[in-house]
Amino acid sequence: MGGREFMLAVDQSTSGTKALLVDRSGAIVAKSAAEHKQYYPQPGWVEHDPVEIYDSVKRTIRETMRAAGVRPDQLAALAITNQRETAVLWDRTTGLPVTRAIVWQCQRTADDCAALVAAGHEDAVRAATGLMIDPYFSATKWSWMLDHTEGARERAERGELLAGTVDSWLIWKLTGGATHATDYTNASRTSLFNIHTLQWDDTMCELFRVPRKLLPNVECSDALFGYALDPDLFDVPVPIAGVIGDSQAALFGHLCLAPGMAKATYGTGTSVLMNVGDRPVPGVQGLVNAIAWGREGKATYALEAVIRTSGDSVKWVRDQLGLFRTYEELDALLQEAGEHNEGVYLVPAFVGLGAPYWAPDARASIVGLSRGSGRAQIVRAAIESIAYQVRDAVELLYRESGVALVELRADGGASDNAVLMQFQSDMLDRRVLKSNVAELSALGAVYMGGLGTGFWRAPEEIPSAASGKQYVEYAPALAPEAREALYEGWKSAVATVL
């Protein structure tokens, strides 16, 4: 690779953009961040300005390169990870958006989705794409833009417009319009991509009324997508390699490369994403069938279980019940409760229960209180409820896929809580490795692009990953009888709200 000693990553998220420079040792040597504006033109509608997003990408790249004193000819590749499902529509000639981007959170196409479900299309969509019909995904967003922007449908038929997710928009702009492409992970979140044939699906394009000619070429995540030529940024062409949606990028950043390796991101809710190997799981109930990545010409698949309320239940105990104010106070209460919670369980069904119960009308409950129960027990019950729900999700993943959990890698705010991480390890009877790195999506894209360009020849060569310094390890320490007795208590508590 000569003097090309750095990888550059762009992490374009819902709230803003980050750029990071990573060296051959896997260390982040410089980074920069910029927020971009959120537009809410009507209740339930969310939009972004694609031009503002691209400007934020250019600004953060320039600031990062300047801070590190790195020249474009020292870059092995530029990798991209992005908010998934957000839909962009632009003019092929001018390179300008036809309208604002419709963000993944936007609910404006809920009625269109309900009509498709009512017409009986959900099974066909799920069979081809692995997804349920939902306004979350990109297809109905593009269709809405074509129908609600004057002349757009006619212009699309004439081949004057292009459609893509945020990664495609950035690749198009960076390459000066030379490349219209996306990767397997982003394509698989549109409702138009067949996860079995790994091609755009003509039947889906017809159903959702999105002309196939608008859509980008689909490549493996580690492919060479073209060269960044924007003269505002680079005076030499920089290869673009390592393009992957943010959730899947975090799975790769955790190096969950073997079937049964999973990551959980502990936020307001919790997403559990597990590598299930080289073929999709058929007939999945209530889980999202995903492409984890495309690498070396092959697709790897993942299953995702989403827990609606996890960190949010700890917030509820703090804000609505006023049981603690600071995280120091939380830790003190957890110590006071000790390892045994005296039979107190909090079932956090504030917005119903998701997988594996599917009870949208269930409501939250605290059970098992005795005269001796106090703040400490309720706070600990809120923390424990997160671990119980993750075990529920892992057992569902196993039932549906036949792939058993090997180990869990953890990130997100609540993973900083050592009591939760230890209890999670105890409940799963598996090692839990808690990441010390916040930038997992960006690192996942860097690892993918670095392997694709030969910056690293094999995953074992990625030093920060190989050294193990990236993680704090928790090992199960609870006797099997005690573990199962606690989990049975959880199941009984859940039964009271179903």
pLDDT per position as a tens digit, 270-300: 889 999 999 988 767 778 888 999 999 999 9
Mean pLDDT in residue range 391-410: 94
Alpha helices in 238-280, H assignment, sequence order: 246-253
398 shares its domain with 292: yes
Residues contacting 115, CB < 8 A, separation 6+: none
Share of the chain above pLDDT 90, in %: 77
Q: Do 211 and 351 reside in the same domain of the chain?
A: no
pLDDT-based confidence at residue 466 (cuts at 50, 70, 90): very low
**CA angle (116, 197, 218) in 5-degree steps:** 90
Has residue 15 got a pLDDT over 90?
Answer: no
Looking at residue 306, its pLDDT comes to: 82
State the chain's mean pLDDT as an integer. 92
Shared domain for 398 and 477, answered yes or no, is: yes
Please state whether beta strands 261-266 and 270-277 pair in parallel, antiparallel, or not at all (unpaired).
antiparallel
Match 């990408």 to its residue by tokens. 57
pLDDT tens, 17-70? 999 999 998 889 999 999 998 889 988 888 999 999 999 999 999 999 999 999
Same domain as 277, residue 223: no
Question: In this predicted structure, what is the pLDDT of residue 226?
Answer: 96
What value does the mean pLDDT take over residues 191-219? Answer: 96
DSSP category for residue 216: P
Query: Has residue 286 been placed in a domain?
Result: yes
What are the pLDDT digits (tens) for 296-350? 999 999 998 888 788 889 999 999 999 999 989 999 999 998 877 889 999 999 8
Torsion of CA 138, 143, 147, 153, to 10 degrees: 120
Average pLDDT over residues 416-431: 95
Is this model's pTM higher than 0.85 or not?
yes
**C-beta of residue 302 within 8 angstroms of C-beta of residue 251:** yes
Packed helices 122-129 and 110-118: angle between N→C axes, nearest 10 degrees: 100
User: Cα(359)–Cα(51) distance, rounded to whole angstroms?
Assistant: 42
Domain edge (last residue) among 229, 247, 265: 247
Residues 282 and 143 in one domain: no
Query: Is residue 195 in some structural domain?
Result: yes
- Structural domains counted in the chain: 2
What do you get for the CA distance between the two ends of the chain, in Å? 59
Beta-strand relationship, 28-35 and 47-48: unpaired
Pair 21, 54 in one domain:
yes
pLDDT value, residue 431: 95
Enter the tokens of residue 380.
Answer: 């600990």
pLDDT of 186 strictly over 60: yes
Same domain, 19 and 73: yes
Beta carbons within 8 Å of 100's beta carbon, 6+ residues apart: 39, 47, 48, 49, 50
Residue 443: inside a domain, yes or no?
Answer: no
pLDDT higher than threshold 90 for residue 376: yes
In the predicted structure, residue 268 carries a pLDDT above the cut 90? no
Instruction: Identify the CA nearest to 21 among candidates 452, 450, 483.
Output: 450
pLDDT at residue 1, as a whole number: 42
How far apart CA 68 and CA 9 sit, in angstroms, is 14
For tokens 């609606």, name the residue.
308
Would you state the pLDDT for residue 467? 52
1 inside domain: no
Claim to verify: residue 311 and residue 171 sit in the same structural domain:
no
Q: Are 299 and 216 contained in the same domain?
A: no
pLDDT, tens digit, 9 for 90 and up, residues 346-367: 999 988 887 788 888 889 999 9
Alpha-carbon Rg for the chain, nearest whole angstrom, is 23
**277 and 231 in one domain?**
no
Residue 425: pLDDT above 80? yes
Do 357 and 229 share a domain, yes or no? no
What is the pLDDT confidence band of residue 104, given thresholds at 50, 70 and 90? confident
Size (the chain), residues: 498
pLDDT at res. 64: 96
pLDDT at 283: 65
Q: pLDDT-based confidence at 105, cuts 50/70/90? A: confident
Compute the Cα dihedral for 116, 119, 125, 130 and give only its sign: positive
Which domain covers residue 14, as residue numbers? 6-247
Q: Quick one: CA torsion of 97, 98, 102, 103, rounded to 10 degrees?
A: 0
Give the CATH number of the domain where residue 192 resides: 3.30.420.40
Residue 468: predicted pLDDT: 53
The residue from 247, 273, 305 where one domain ends is 247
Q: What is the mean pLDDT of residues 183-212?
A: 96
**Cross-strand partners of 366:** 346
Pair (226, 285) in one structural domain: no
Q: Considering the domain boundaries, does residue 71 fall inside one?
A: yes
Task: Quote the tokens at residue 469.
Answer: 């310094």
For residue 259, the cross-strand partners are none
Among residues 247, 263, 289, the one where a domain terminates is: 247
Count helices and strands in the chain by DSSP H and E runs = 16, 23
Note whether residue 451 is domain-resident.
no
In a domain, 364, yes or no: yes
SS (H, E, C) 32-86: EEEECCCECCCCCCCEECHHHHHHHHHHHHHHHHHHHCCCHHHEEEEEEEECCCC
Strand 270-277 to 238-245 pairing: unpaired
Is residue 450 in some structural domain?
A: no
Which element (helix H / strand E) includes 327?
Answer: helix 327-337
Q: What are 114-143's pLDDT values in tens digits?
A: 999 999 999 999 999 988 898 989 999 999
